[in-house]
Structure 1
Amino acid sequence: MQKTWRESILACLLHDISVEGFLRTDHGFWGAQLVRPYVDEEVAWAIQKHQALRFFADDSVGYDYPLFTGNGSV
């Protein structure tokens, strides 16, 4: 498995590592701080930014913004 895929998989597995201890909107920041000494910087960055990037549309892979109805359902 290529290094970039391993890093992506690791970031996916660890992205909510601090949710149990920090039920806050900035849990990505704290999760990144927990793992930064042990992982590549790309993994820590992905964990820190996962909330901001989760709805980032990417037409090249067919991922569009979710449609919101305004009543709380998608």
Structure 2
Amino acid sequence: MTHAEKTISHKKPSIEITKNGPYIVKNVDHLISSQGASLSTQPVMALCRCGGSASKPFCDGTHSSIDFEDDKT
């Protein structure tokens, strides 16, 4: 494990909602799909919230092409 990986693994997990875009998830060690499968994680991930991504639960940028809007952010 690199120094950067050790540093990230000790940071508190966080979720940020982006305006008209994905959830930005940081420092998550485990991620489980809606079917109960364990998914590989990265130090920073973008998770779909528009419902249109072909690579759910991860964002593939579809929100831009379908003009996803979130009035709450």
Q: TM-score range by the shorter chain?
A: under 0.3
Larger Rg, first or second structure (1 or 2): 1
Q: Which has the higher strand share?
A: 2
Q: Which has the higher helix share?
A: 1
Task: Report the TM-score, using the length of structure 2 for normalisation.
Answer: 0.22
